[in-house]
Structure 1
Amino acid sequence: MWRFGLSLIICFHLWMKCCIGADHVETCSGIVPMRNRSGRISIADFGGVGNGETLNTKAFRAAINEIERLKRVGGTLLYIPAGVYLTETFNLTSHMTLFLAKDAVIKASQDTINWPLVNPLPTYGRGRERPGGRYISFIHGDGLQDVIITGENGTIEGQGAVWWNMWRQRTLKFTRPNLVEFMNSKEIIISNLIFKNSPFWNIHPVYCSNVVIQNVTILAPRDSPNTDGIDPDSSSNICIEDLYVSTGDDLVAVKSGWDEYGIAYGRPSSNITIRRLTGSSPFAGIAIGSEVSGGVQNILVEHVNLYNMGFGIHIKTNIGRGGFIKNITFFDIYMENVRTGIRIAGNVGDHPDDKFDPNAISVVKGINITLVLGKKVLQPGMIHGFKGCPFTGICLSNVNMNDQAPVGNRRNDPWQCSDVTGAAIGVSPLPCAELTSAAQAGECVLFPFELD
């Protein structure tokens, strides 16, 4: 038996070096190919003026209507030249590319009074922040196919401060708008752009499939509320890579619906890759949840660098969520100056109303966390499952967070665990007894080595 185990380790080591070693750079290109459009128009052709003061809403809407009318084979590119183009919200159409030239900025109007409302998402049952509908995203797409938003590192600027202040002052009537949202769409590419100061979440693909988000920068102040970077939501076949994100909330958060509404809709988030992310936030680097009522499965997170974080890895759910979180892999994660390195918790997140089922418990199993280095980490880990329904298959390998940040004249407790089973090998400081018991080791296949 030991020879079989050793052979398995050697084979896995060779596979890792071949597939994700330093000489091999994986990309998202196979999911959605970048297309060269057969037609091209400019926002200037429709009266667009990039002086930062003229309102360009009519120009954007007219240009996109023209793309839809033309229905060119191969689609049409809408070119945004250098300049600052102030506009209200606008909807995209299928088979188009929105291309921002170098020094081009699309800036959201701050006219919140006339911002359009849309229905709440069926997986949430109401607005995420407030009852009722929600403000439409600044750039929006619903039921689309083959859409590209790209450029030469141009900027999409949300001017979110007015929305943040409404949230802080409790004058917000409906849920704030996302910066970019795609619903019920497929074959989407977002690349080579800067996203700044979103009113709420930055990029939100929901009920989508085959989405690529790559080579983007996402920025918002650390005190900006709920400015998540990217939130794949009840979506599948998503690739997120080569990012710098510094916001006021989770850098990437995978979701799938809220309590009884997400359970009823039943659409999981699955087959998602997140790689080569660098970022900073007072909340989480990579989050799963807490809205996981439709289920989350088959997630790979690799080659991530996190600085000045609240949490490095945060997997979160709550009583009433239902759904599942399973087959989640984290590999090669570096974190520095972090409050909690790894948190997996069943008591996080609020509820849309009081109609949730207290017996709807999320099944959490098959969480593999391998090759993690943490420096100046206040608390290495907290793992708390549900009483009577523990988290299972929590597998830690080569996790070193021994360089703990001091708390006054002492160091914090290394690990806290309850209602969890799994195994750990090569973990420092020594993790909970629940993960070091020989009786639990069969739940995991662990690999006690580091890549060359």
Structure 2
Amino acid sequence: MTETLPVGRFQLQQQRVELKRCFLAFLSSHKTLFTVLWITAFVSVFLWQRNIVGARFSIFAKSGPGRPVPKTRSFVFNLTDFGGVGDGVTVNTAAFERAILAISKLEKSDVAQLNVPPGKWLTAPFNLTSHMTLFLAEGAEILGLEDEKQWPLMPPLPSYGYGREHHGPRYGSLIHGQNLKNVVITGHNGTINGQGQSWWKKYRQKLLNHTRGPLVQIMWSSDIVISNITLRDSPFWTFHPYDCKNVTVRNVTILAPVSEAPNTDGIDPDSCEDVVIEDCYISVGDDAIAIKSGWDQYGIAYGRPSRNILIRNLIVRSMVSAGVSIGSEMSGGVSNVTVESVLVWSSRRAVRIKTAAGRGGYVKHITYRNLTFNDARVGIVIKTDYNEHPDNDFDPKALPTLEDISFTGIHGQAVRVPVRIHGSEDIPVRNVTFRDMSVGLSYKKKHVFQCAFVQGRVIGTIFPAPCENLDRYDEEERLVKRSASQNVTDIDYNV
């Protein structure tokens, strides 16, 4: 018996067959398939970039509104219990101070959590205390007062000699701490906003008599954690741990305009030891990260290196400076730094080491691996003539040492100059290694891998072709060709 399909089902089946045939014919065209794939990729990248440059960007998903605030300490206080009003108009400095004073008087070692509820909490700078957690709820925003008269003046940092932008005192940070232990700043992606626009304008107009203050500065402290928050629009450097040990920055978004926001570095570990920076997004008006250790004779005298620093799993952007920098203030030394799994996009430089005669100190045992450069003018920079000094009393014979620097797994596209290593006769760059490198160029002429006074090696095949200063080894690390001279100069700043 032959089954007879109803007219409606038959028509539907015919439509499905016809649709399938049209779809297969559509895909049979290589040109059409390429177009589909290209459009899909473009839309994906567009949506990704739209998200990451948004004012409320976070690479970590947020849960729904009204999440309960976890209890992380033995005692929990709310800012409203101390008179805080989150209307964006009321000044809450006294409320923060009363709450933190109450925490400081508690005797237990794992003391208290201060909850900042949703709202806009305007405040002048205030100090943290040991054994506390500052918790910013979802929708909470701490706002810094824009009137610089409300920001206290502090002595210059001992390893800098003066306030970095002006002689004499410097402005303190919006959130500050000294000689602390066991401090956490975290939340449900709440925001600390320095409202730096007025500071940047006054700086450009030369109306400030003192160096601008950071957004968050912790000094001479240990066991510091910053996580799951947004830091934005700092007057100066955003997070500045100074002479600290055991510092962790995780799941943090740091934002400032990529232009017209001078010196708004993202994270500047300065004479710090045992630091982890991971899973962050940073887009700012200067270096996304800058590792420091003091400036010229002041940093040499202070003698505190930055060492044992791990930087990983970041997306960073710096149209003015670099994604990850070491220096230029590195007079106490920098060593044992690993930078891995970092995407640098739409930036002037990707990774950079900068120093000069007069700095002294050293940069050594630095490892870069699994880096991606997307649209960078210069990919890798080592610069030894960054001649900016605190005063004229520096010793020009205090020469820094640069050695044991490796680059492995370096990839990317749209890079104008992939490598520029500018050593000098007085400050040569020693023992540099390149391996597994392939960077697509946006500049097709010669001299895109530039070297001067550098000694090192290339293992295997890399693109673009390396400079003549470097020895060549095969994949099994057997010597293929020895460089005729490490002192050849092939630097072209016009490229």
TM-score bracket for this pair, using the shorter chain length: 0.7 to 0.9
Aligned to 1:356: 394
* Structure 2 CA distance for partners of 1:412 and 1:76, relative to 1, 3 Å: farther
CA contact (8 A) 2:437 2:462 kept: yes
CA contact (8 A) 2:223 2:247 kept: yes
CA distance in 2, matches of 1:43, 1:116: 22
1:214 to 250, 261, 272: 250
1:43 to 52, 56, 79: 79
Which letter does structure 2 place at the counterpart of 1:48? G
Q: SS in structure 1 opposite 2:99? A: helix
Which letter does structure 2 place at the counterpart of 1:65? L
1:68 to 92, 98, 104: 104
CA distance in 2, matches of 1:358, 1:136: 31
1:152-231 alignment, distance < 5 Å: 152-223=188-259, 224-231=261-268
* Structure 2 CA distance for partners of 1:63 and 1:317, relative to 1, 3 Å: same
Which letter does structure 2 place at the counterpart of 1:256? S
Alignment deviations for residues 157-213 of structure 1 (CA, whole Å, 9 cap, x no partner): 000011101111111211100000000000000000000100000000010000100
Which letter does structure 2 place at the counterpart of 1:241? E
2:409 to 357, 371, 392: 371
Which letter does structure 1 place at the counterpart of 2:323? G
Structure with the greater relative contact order (CA < 8 A, sep ≥ 6): 1 or 2? 1
Q: CA deviation at 1:390?
A: 1.3
Aligned to 1:264: 301
Q: SS in structure 2 opposite 1:70? A: coil
Aligned to 2:463: 428
User: What stretches of structure 1 move > 6 A for 4+ residues in a row?
Assistant: none
Q: CA deviation at 1:111?
A: 1.3
Q: SS in structure 2 opposite 1:306? A: strand
Q: CA deviation at 1:66?
A: 0.6
Which letter does structure 2 place at the counterpart of 1:291? E
Aligned to 2:153: 117
Alignment deviations for residues 242-281 of structure 1 (CA, whole Å, 9 cap, x no partner): 0000001111110000000000111000000000010211
2:380 to 339, 342, 357: 342
Q: SS in structure 1 opposite 2:130? A: coil
Aligned to 1:148: 184
Q: CA deviation at 1:440?
A: 6.3
Aligned to 1:82: 118
Q: CA deviation at 1:50?
A: 0.5
115-124 or 341-350: bigger deviation:
341-350
* Structure 2 CA distance for partners of 1:158 and 1:363, relative to 1, 3 Å: same
Which letter does structure 1 place at the counterpart of 2:405? I
Q: SS in structure 2 opposite 1:379? A: strand
Aligned to 2:285: 248
Alignment deviations for residues 404-429 of structure 1 (CA, whole Å, 9 cap, x no partner): 113xxx53621221111001133211
Aligned to 1:91: 127
1:296 to 308, 313, 334: 334
CA distance in 2, matches of 1:192, 1:182: 18
Rg larger in 1 or in 2? 2
1:125-136 alignment, distance < 5 Å: 125-136=161-172
2:482 to 430, 439, 443: 439
Q: CA deviation at 1:35?
A: 9.2
CA distance in 1, matches of 2:207, 2:166: 11
Aligned to 1:237: 274
Q: CA deviation at 1:439?
A: 3.5
The TM-score normalised by the length of structure 1 is 0.88
Q: SS in structure 2 opposite 1:71? A: coil
CA distance in 1, matches of 2:426, 2:221: 39
1:413 to 425, 447, 461: 447
Q: CA deviation at 1:381?
A: 1.1
CA distance in 2, matches of 1:274, 1:412: 33
Q: CA deviation at 1:432?
A: 1.0
CA distance in 1, matches of 2:109, 2:292: 35
1:58 aligns with 2:94: yes
Q: SS in structure 2 opposite 1:148? A: strand
CA distance in 2, matches of 1:70, 1:415: 59
CA distance in 1, matches of 2:355, 2:438: 26
CA contact (8 A) 1:405 1:411 kept: no
Q: SS in structure 2 opposite 1:113? A: helix
Higher strand share: 1
Any gaps of 5 or more consecutive residues in structure 1?
1-33, 444-452
Which letter does structure 2 place at the counterpart of 1:274? I
Aligned to 1:276: 313
Aligned to 1:384: 422
CA contact (8 A) 1:39 1:72 kept: no
The TM-score normalised by the length of structure 2 is 0.80
CA contact (8 A) 1:135 1:175 kept: yes
Aligned to 2:46: none
Q: CA deviation at 1:127?
A: 0.6
CA distance in 2, matches of 1:196, 1:58: 23
Which letter does structure 2 place at the counterpart of 1:91? N
RMSD (Å) for aligned C-alpha atoms: 1.6
Q: SS in structure 2 opposite 1:433? A: coil
Aligned to 1:310: 348
Q: SS in structure 2 opposite 1:166? A: helix
CA distance in 2, matches of 1:197, 1:411: 39
CA contact (8 A) 1:365 1:391 kept: yes
CA contact (8 A) 1:152 1:192 kept: yes
Which letter does structure 1 place at the counterpart of 2:332? G
Which letter does structure 1 place at the counterpart of 2:471? T
Q: CA deviation at 1:386?
A: 2.6
* Structure 2 CA distance for partners of 1:388 and 1:258, relative to 1, 3 Å: closer
Alignment deviations for residues 97-145 of structure 1 (CA, whole Å, 9 cap, x no partner): 0000010001001111232100000000001111111100100000000
CA distance in 2, matches of 1:383, 1:245: 25
Question: Alignment identity in percent?
Answer: 47
Alignment deviations for residues 204-247 of structure 1 (CA, whole Å, 9 cap, x no partner): 00100001000000000011101000000001000000000000
CA contact (8 A) 1:80 1:100 kept: yes
Aligned to 2:357: 319
